[in-house]
Structure 1
Amino acid sequence: MAELLRSLQDSQLVARFQRRCGLFPAPEEGPRHNGPGPAEGAAAGRGAGAPAHGLRSVAAPQPYVQKYVVKNYFYYYLFRFSAALGQEVFYITFLPFTHWNIDPFLSRRLIIVWVLVMYIGQVAKDILKWPRPLSPPVVKLEKRVIAEYGMPSTHAMAATVISFTLLISTRDRYQYPFVLGLLMAVLFSTLVCLSRLYTGMHTVLDVLGGIAATAVLLALTYPAWSLIDRLDSASPVFPVCAAVVPFLLCYHYPAPDFYSPTRADTTTILAAGAGVTIGSWINHFFQLAAGPPGPPPPAAPAPAPAAAGLALSLTKFAVGIALVLAVRRLVQALSLQVLCSWFRVVPRDREARRRLEIEVPYKFVTYVSVGICATTFVPMLHRFLGLP
């Protein structure tokens, strides 16, 4: 078993997958000035299969633009697109679209389960501290997250939890061929998982670990899904708990050995989930929802796309996303200005913005506002504009 785990964590396995898909490192034109980061260096000292433990007071890995040669552009664009399905650009479009155009009930459940799974995955990275694949031999295509640790793959966790939570939640709610839904869930999660190998950001073991952890979490949380559906009818003090608990979890996030975007991404995820939860409570408490709370009758016909319906959906999405992005920009600028003034730093100072007492509050306030706006104010704007 130990030998199998070491082979699944081998960087050469990732490199061979990249080569088979037509991705090769460009010939070196000179000495590389950016050496391996601390996680990579620690792994190199221990061997490719050994996790890095006990790293303290080390510099962050320095991102660099790695030159590469693409010999198969079909796989290149397929996996780069698939990788984007596990990033913020997908979350801030797909999840609101689901809420505004398909089913708020499904959207709320999906977001809360997704937040729980992603928080556990993000924290696990900074507790386990397993390195990403070594480069060379692996070609790394994403430099933003190069400073993060690898195990588990939160892309794999996000894709698995989104696809299979939707499948399970819609099985008895809408009429559609279950086999077709299962195939789509498997295809979606598989493409995202393979993209993590193609982009060189995870080992096979990282990806399998993310899938296995998500499967366990889905099984453990499934009995509580009906409770999630009733959160909007909780007590008047519920919004306070929904905001304070996630904020404390973000503020007391495991202290990293060096700066990486993991804490900031975790804060974004938890804050968005808190905002959606609070927004749903506001809708129910002040009776702002368009219809009665709760799910519609089970086994309803699945929403069928039509030209008029598609145009309406795209219009609602365009109106909603414009308001959401405007709120995000405004709240982010205001909260950052207030915090930087309080701590007497310049908002343009990148290092100052990474400080715990600045980064966590401004991101949390920003994305709580985004979540509330998406669930409360955007539907109100839709009704005001006559967009059913």
Structure 2
Amino acid sequence: MSANLGTHTCFMAVLPVMFWCGKPYLGRFMTNILAAGVFSSGFVKDLLCLPRPLSPPLTRITMSGSAALEYGFPSTHSTNAVSVAVFSILLLQDPELSISPQARLYLQVAAYLYACSIVMGRLYCGMHGFFDVVCGSLLGAVVALAQFYLGPIRDEWLFSGEIKNVLISGLIVLLLVRIHPEPADNCPCFDDSVAFAGVVWGLDIGGWHISRTQYVDTAANYPSAIPFNVEQLGWSKVIARIVLGVGSVFVWRAVAKPTLLTILPPIFRVVESLGLDLPRRYFKRASEYQSVPDQKDDDNVIPSARDIPQMLGNLRNRRRAVSIGPQSEADAYEALAYRQKRRRDSIKGAETSLIAESKLANDYFANLPDIPTQSRKRSLSLEEFRQQMGASLSELSPIAIGSPQPEKVNGGSETFMKAEDEKDRSELFATVQKVRVRYDVEVVTKLIVYGGIGWIAVEGAPMLFHHLWLSTYRVG
């Protein structure tokens, strides 16, 4: 959820640039950028499985517990923030942009400040290290440059071709979803990647189809641009469009999702019986369940309508949440390894100290002329040495001079360490936040649901506005 809140924030941050540029269809470009950022950063996260900074010793501050379930490298927030900033700055360099140099400068400075605040905020919150945010920022810059220079070429290929180009685009999306790495731990990055991949496919389908209709703005120099003018519409109609458009998304999701989760499991069981399924780790196969139960917080991108009042209440009473300790399996393994290393170093240091004391005692007694050597070896011990040197009884060591072997104490240091490791393992994994149960049909469901959301954004809603007299002009 945290990564996608960052994505939504990035989209809101670029709205001023879109307004000043007078190109509302740039929302499609921004969606592609954010989708590429989420997908590519999630791909690398699940491929390398590098955890977030260890807590403790670091104190982690976060507003979302689910964010800690993801791996740390690279930072998705940094990727999205930098991609938005770089793309906005590139747009503002356009000499044909009809804004004053002063406004252009203010927007550029705002873009820099926005990206820096997000990147530094991830360090301050303890959610990422320097390597995470630097590489995430570089990835974001690459995504922005690719969209700015190659995005128009891709769109020209898509819109100028026949339906086969849309199908090829869809096959590429499915291929990317299929080859998405399977992580070592149950990480939710894949869910977010699937959602944004579905949105991109929906944008392609809707954009391609509406570009062949009379609803588009032929003067916008973009195939799927829809005419929009605030002065002609008036703010009452603009607000009505927003309410109706957002409502359409929630209605579609509320109807499509439960319907698909009901009809897909039997189909998946048939496919599985034929040996044609593509199972994915951490997802229950259709043969292992009868139906998909209604689960809370099962969508990290768009919440259900029933959760909105609670979310608004949480925003009103929001306080800084401080989470100390492991919050995911990756965190727990890192903390366990950290404790094991500290314990081994401590025991090794104790052994070195005992051996040094034993050597010092032997050297001391070897230099006493009035004690026979053989008698010395038989009777003197480190305990006697400490007594002669004035050590208190509480400091006495049970290890004799002739056998400085700490591993024999208290059943052996190795046995002791194993017991402590098991104790730590039980303690750490008991506090780890568990990822909800996920089902194989959710992948296809998410692709269809979010593909429909993308289609509504570029074609479904504009056509609805036209028929409800909420468009800039009537067709025909």
Q: What's the TM-score once normalised by structure 2's chain length?
A: 0.55
User: For 1:88 and 1:105, how far apart are their aligned partners in 2?
Assistant: 17
Q: How does 1:165-244 map to 2 (within 5 A)?
A: 165-172=87-94, 174-176=97-99, 177=101, 178-220=104-146, 222-230=148-156, 231-244=158-171
Deviation of the 1:281 alpha carbon? 0.3
Tell me which residue corresponds to 2:451.
368
Aligned residues of 2:30 and 2:84 also touching (Cα < 8 A): yes
User: For 1:191 and 1:304, how far apart are their aligned partners in 2?
Assistant: 33
User: For 2:13 and 2:257, how far apart are their aligned partners in 1?
Assistant: 19
Deviation of the 1:314 alpha carbon? 2.9
User: For 1:254 and 1:336, how far apart are their aligned partners in 2?
Assistant: 24
CA-based RMSD: 3.4
Gaps of 5+ in 2: 268-285, 296-434
> Does 1:328 pair with 2:253?
yes
Of 36, 53, 60, which residue of structure 2 is paired with 1:139?
Answer: 60
Aligned residues of 2:14 and 2:88 also touching (Cα < 8 A): no
Aligned residues of 2:49 and 2:183 also touching (Cα < 8 A): no
Structure 1 residues 305 and 292: CA distance shift in structure 2, 3 A: closer
Of 95, 108, 127, which residue of structure 1 is paired with 2:47?
Answer: 127
- Equivalent residue letter for 1:347: V
The alignment partner of 1:335 has SS state of helix
> Does 1:149 pair with 2:71?
yes
The alignment partner of 1:145 has SS state of helix
The aligned length equals 298
Tell me which residue corresponds to 2:438.
354
User: For 1:314 and 1:90, how far apart are their aligned partners in 2?
Assistant: 22
User: For 1:384 and 1:93, how far apart are their aligned partners in 2?
Assistant: 31
Q: What's the TM-score once normalised by structure 1's chain length?
A: 0.67
Structure 1 residues 359 and 153: CA distance shift in structure 2, 3 A: same
Deviation of the 1:329 alpha carbon? 2.1
> Does 1:265 pair with 2:186?
no
Deviation of the 1:277 alpha carbon? 1.6
Deviation of the 1:276 alpha carbon? 1.0
Q: How does 1:296-307 map to 2 (within 5 A)?
A: none
Deviation of the 1:89 alpha carbon? 7.7
User: For 1:255 and 1:313, how far apart are their aligned partners in 2?
Assistant: 44
Aligned residues of 1:320 and 1:378 also touching (Cα < 8 A): yes
User: For 2:147 and 2:244, how far apart are their aligned partners in 1?
Assistant: 34
Structure 1 residues 317 and 92: CA distance shift in structure 2, 3 A: farther
Segment drifting more, 154-163 vs 364-373: 154-163
Higher Rg: 2
> Does 1:386 pair with 2:469?
yes
- Equivalent residue letter for 1:354: R
Task: Give a deviation string over 1:30-51, Cα, whole Å, max 9, x none.
Answer: xxxxxxxxxxxxxxxxxxxxxx
Structure 1 residues 287 and 236: CA distance shift in structure 2, 3 A: farther
- Equivalent residue letter for 1:329: A
User: For 1:93 and 1:186, how far apart are their aligned partners in 2?
Assistant: 11
Aligned residues of 1:279 and 1:376 also touching (Cα < 8 A): yes
Task: Give a deviation string over 1:246-286, Cα, whole Å, max 9, x none.
Answer: 12211331011121110000001111111112110010134
* Higher RCO (CA-CA < 8 Å; seq separation 6+): 2
- Equivalent residue letter for 1:334: T
The alignment partner of 1:175 has SS state of coil
Structure 1 residues 271 and 213: CA distance shift in structure 2, 3 A: same
- Equivalent residue letter for 2:89: L
Structure 1 residues 331 and 86: CA distance shift in structure 2, 3 A: same
- Equivalent residue letter for 2:461: V
Question: Percentage identity across aligned positions?
Answer: 25
User: For 1:197 and 1:339, how far apart are their aligned partners in 2?
Assistant: 42
Task: Give a deviation string over 1:113-161, Cα, whole Å, max 9, x none.
Answer: 3323332211111122221021222224221121211111111111121
Structure 1 residues 233 and 92: CA distance shift in structure 2, 3 A: farther
- Equivalent residue letter for 1:333: P
Deviation of the 1:229 alpha carbon? 4.1
Structure 1 residues 305 and 140: CA distance shift in structure 2, 3 A: same
- Equivalent residue letter for 1:164: V
User: For 2:115 and 2:170, how far apart are their aligned partners in 1?
Assistant: 30
Aligned residues of 2:180 and 2:190 also touching (Cα < 8 A): yes
Aligned residues of 1:161 and 1:218 also touching (Cα < 8 A): yes
The alignment partner of 1:174 has SS state of coil
User: For 2:26 and 2:198, how far apart are their aligned partners in 1?
Assistant: 19
Structure 1 residues 214 and 375: CA distance shift in structure 2, 3 A: same
Structure 1 residues 328 and 201: CA distance shift in structure 2, 3 A: same
- Equivalent residue letter for 1:317: I
